[in-house]
Amino acid sequence: MDQSTINDLLIALRPAIPQAVVSSATNEAEAFQNNTLRPVLKFLNHTILSTVQAGILRVNKQFTTLSPTKQVAQIKMYLNKNQQVKAILQGHVVGLLTSDELKYYHTEFSNTNKRIQQMLETRVLDQMEFFH
């Protein structure tokens, strides 16, 4: 299978996100976030939540008995302090980038990883009911 076909298949997997609007005033990083990262994260939603849930329960078997405030704090700490988890989740995202998107990712590595991390945290915290 050639790279062009792989790129087409990767894009075809992604759900549409109509509210992720990109205009001529949108900078390149925001356009990449809205056109690429948001659809990839939406596609990976169940994988992300399952990965975080399994890891959190491995670290703290009493997680479900914690207060909601403590659960949020535990998830934030888990996502931001655990370098292995960060690498795994970012790897899930990067693995679904096309060759052109991967080139952009490599040129904007630091900024893109920060955006991915912020979006992962928001996505997980917005779906806390998954953990109950």
Q: Output the DSSP codes for 13-39.
A: HSPP-TT----TTS-HHHHHIIIIIHH
Residues 6+ apart with CB under 8 A from 79: 52, 85, 86, 89, 117, 120, 121, 124
Residue 62 within any structural domain of the chain = yes
Q: Domain of 120?
A: 3-15+27-131
Domain count, the chain: 1
Residue 109 within any structural domain of the chain = yes
C-beta separation of 21 from 44 below 8 A: no
The model's pLDDT over 11-22, given as tens digits with 9 standing for 90+, comes to 999 999 887 666
Residue 21 within any structural domain of the chain = no
The model's pLDDT over 42-72, given as tens digits with 9 standing for 90+, comes to 999 999 999 999 999 999 999 999 999 999 9
Residue 38 within any structural domain of the chain = yes
Residue 63 within any structural domain of the chain = yes
Per-residue pLDDT averaged across 88-101, rounded? Answer: 97
Q: Is the pTM of this model over 0.85?
A: yes
